[in-house]
Amino acid sequence: MERRLVWDLPTRLFHWLLVASLIVQYVTASWLENAMQWHFYCGYFTLGLLIFRIFWGLFGPKYARFSHFIASPVSVFNYSRTLFSRRSLAYTGHNPLGGYVVVLMLSMVITQAVSGLFMSDDIFMEGPWYASASNATRAVMNTVHRTGFDWLVAIIMLHIAAVVFYTVFKKQPLTSAMLHGKKRTKKPAIPSSKLWLAAFLIILSAFIVYYFVVIAPPTPVAEEVYY
Ligand code: HEM
Ligand code: HEM
């Protein structure tokens, strides 16, 4: 079987930039002192990445599209029965079960980035929506941001374990395909990575982030100070 382009360049870049961003987010919040400003910047970047991925899931090349990897419950069930078999069908894009894990991971990271906008470190730094949120909203977002991350780490561990399982047991080298984009398949390669469309969607995503971080948040009402 020939090696053909399956994962376009923007999808691959998205994946590895997401991995790097989450590492930075963890390190700046939990390991480093005084790195909150960088946590905020990288959080906005991650939000932009995710907005881009949603657009890409709608308008990107075939295998990156949600419509291609959100499968019917029947195919998920049928695929699950062959999960531990070495002879299960190797999918060109995400397999039916993996497709849902992708959706779950994306939703969890979005939740993480959005809840961050309502966070405060209780010292100097406030996310752009913190000041205008009620105490109840702040409390919910705080819980979501802190416990959500632990759940995210659990799913990421599962994801990495699954990739190792596919590589070692099922002899399907998925990671190298996420690096160079090519898989051995009988299906046709994607015609192009649609780089011009990607450039446009990156600019649009950056603008949407700018809108939600800088333009839209209501200006905080100055707290009254009594002397
Ligand atoms: C922070 C850690 C990680 C996160 C949040 C993450 C998230 C994701 C997401 C969202 C996708 C779907 C890609 C898309 O369609 O846009 C994906 C796919 C994939 N990831 Fe990761 N990933 C992480 C770490 C890793 C690592 C360390 C590896 C390699 C060892 C890896 C290998 C892969 C592979 C091979 C796929 C494609 C799976 C397939 O062929 O269906 N990921 N990952
Ligand atoms: C995907 C993006 C994000 C991830 C993965 C993430 C991850 C984390 C983690 C792991 C913590 C530490 C939680 C703990 O100690 O229990 C944290 C805390 C925090 N995050 Fe995020 N975060 C993200 C986005 C954001 C954004 C966009 C903002 C604000 C604009 C933000 C603001 C904060 C604040 C203020 C804290 C509390 C720090 C403290 O209490 O010292 N985060 N975040």
- Residue 14 Cβ inside 6 Å of ligand 1? The answer reads yes
165: helix, strand or coil: helix
pLDDT of residue 13 exceeding 90, the answer is yes
The pLDDT-based confidence of 123 (bands split at 50, 70, 90) is confident
Identify the pLDDT of residue 14. Answer: 98
Q: Mean pLDDT, the chain, as a whole number? A: 95
Residue 224 pLDDT exceeds 90: no
Indicate if ligand 1 lies below 6 Å from the C-beta of 9: no
- Report the separation in Å between the CA atom of 220 and the middle of ligand 1, taken as the mean of its atom positions: 39
Ligand 1 within 6 A of CB of 17: no
CA of 15 to the centre of ligand 1 (A): 6
**What pLDDT sits at residue 157?**
98
For residue range 162-216, what is the model confidence (pLDDT) as tens digits?
999 999 999 999 999 999 999 999 999 999 999 999 999 999 999 999 999 999 9
The mean per-residue pLDDT over the stretch 84-107 comes to 94
pLDDT computed for residue 225 by the predictor: 59
CA of 205 to the centre of ligand 2 (A): 21
The answer, yes or no, to whether any atom of ligand 2 lies below 6 A from the CB of 91, is: no
pLDDT tier, 220 (very low <50, low <70, confident <90, very high otherwise): low
Q: How would residue 219 be classed by pLDDT, with cut points 50, 70 and 90?
A: confident
Which ligand lies nearest the alpha carbon of 57? 1
Query: What band does 218 get if pLDDT is binned at 50, 70 and 90?
Result: confident
Q: Which residues pair with 184 in a beta bridge?
A: 3
Q: Is 163 in the pocket of ligand 1 (CB under 6 A)?
A: yes
DSSP string, 170-208: S---HHHHHHH-EEE-SSPPPS---HHHHHHHHHHHHHH
> Pick the residue with more confidence: 218 or 5?
5
Q: Which ligand is nearest to the CA of 177?
A: 1
Domain 3-215 in CATH 3.30.70.2190: no
Enumerate the H helices of the chain as residue ranges. 9-26, 36-59, 66-69, 73-81, 96-116, 135-168, 174-180, 195-210
DSSP assigned state of 219: P
39 lines ligand 2 (CB under 6 A): yes
pLDDT category, 221, cuts 50, 70, 90? low
Q: Please report the pLDDT score of residue 89 as a whole number.
A: 83
pLDDT at residue 2, as a whole number: 87
What does the domain layout of the chain look like in residue ranges? 3-215
Mean pLDDT for 28-36 is 95
Is residue 84 packed enough to be buried (19+ CB in 10 Å), middle (13-18) or exposed (0-12)?
exposed
* Atom of ligand 2 minimally distant from the CA of 26: 10
